[in-house]
Structure 1
C-alpha cells in the first residue's frame, strides 16, 4: 500500500520598509520567489521612521513591481515580525545582505527573532554585486535633487518619486 505524503506549502516572508522598493530589493524578491512556493513581501509600518511614501503607496508600488511574479504577494504589518510570520504560517524570513555591516545588523535581528520563536528561520541572500551600493535612502536623496534614478528603481517608482518630490517642493515654496 502506497502512502500519500502531503507536502506543506513553503512560505517565506521578505519584510522591509521598501521606501521605495529598489532594484536591489527586486533582485532579492525575484531570486527568493524561485526558492519558495509563496513569497510574501511584507511592508513594515515602522512608527519610528518618517517615510517618503505611505504604507499604502509602498504596497501599491510593490504590487506593480511584482505583478509578473505569480507566487509573490504583497502585504503590510505593524507587529513583531515573528508574530506576523506565525500569522501567515510561514517558515522562513528572507533578508538581503549587501555589506558586512548589513550582516551584523541582520544577524542580531535573526538571533532575536529565533529567541522569540525558535521556529522562525532566517535565510540571508547576498545582493547581486551590481546593487551592493544601493539603498532606498541613497535613491531618495538622488531623486530629491533631480538626479536620474532610472537604473535604481522601476519606472513606476521613478514616476511616483518625481510626483512626490514635485508636490513637496510646491508645498515648500511661498
Structure 2
C-alpha cells in the first residue's frame, strides 16, 4: 500500500459519489486526507467549517481518513502534509480531460507527486454537488444522493437562505 493520499475538492456538499471514492481510496492507501478547498472564485453554499464537519461525520467509521481544509496550490498543500498521491474521481470523459491537465501541471510543479484516477461507481456517474443543491432547493428527495445528515443540513441551509 502507498503511504498517504489526498482527495481534494470543494465538497459543497459531500455526496455519496464522493464518499464512494473516499471509501475506495481508504482501501488502497494507508492514510487518506480529504482536503476541502477554499476556492476564492466560487461562492460556497456551505462554509469551509460546515463542509469539514459534514465530511467528518460521513467518514467517522474510517480511522485512516482525516478531513482538513486548505487554500492555495494543491501541490503546496500536498508537500506540506507530506502526501504521496492525489486521488481524483472521474465520472465522464470531460472529467478526464480537465483532470489530465491538472495532473500534468501538478507533476510539472512537483515531480514526486502521483495522481491516482478512480472511475466513479456507475450509480453515481451523474451525481455532482451542483445537482444535489439544485434538486434540494426545490424540496425534492435527495436521500439517495447524500448521507442523511447532509440532507438535513441542506434543508436547514435552504430554510435559512429563504428566510433571509
TM range (shorter): over 0.9
1:108 aligns with 2:108: no
User: Which structure 2 segments of 5+ residues have no match?
Assistant: none
Distance in 1 between residues matched to 2:163 and 2:80, nearest whole Å: 42
Q: State the TM-score, normalized to the length of structure 2.
A: 0.98
User: Which structure 1 segments of 5+ residues have no match?
Assistant: 1-6
- Alignment RMSD, CA only? 1.0
Question: Where has structure 1 moved over 2 Å in runs of 4 or more?
Answer: none
1:50 aligns with 2:43: yes
Which residue matches 2:5? 12
Distance in 2 between residues matched to 1:26 and 1:13, nearest whole Å: 14
Stretch of structure 1 that moved more, 154-163 or 9-18: 9-18
What is the count of residue pairs matched by the alignment? 164
1:127 aligns with 2:93: no
> Which one of the candidate residues 140, 151, 163 is aligned to 2:144?
151
Distance in 1 between residues matched to 2:124 and 2:62, nearest whole Å: 20
Which residue matches 1:4? none
Distance in 1 between residues matched to 2:90 and 2:81, nearest whole Å: 24
Which residue matches 1:85? 78
Structure 1 residues 28-67: aligned runs within 5 Å: 28-67=21-60
SS at match of 2:41: coil
Distance in 2 between residues matched to 1:108 and 1:158, nearest whole Å: 33
Alpha-carbon offset, residue 120 of structure 1: 1.2
Q: State the TM-score, normalized to the length of structure 1.
A: 0.93
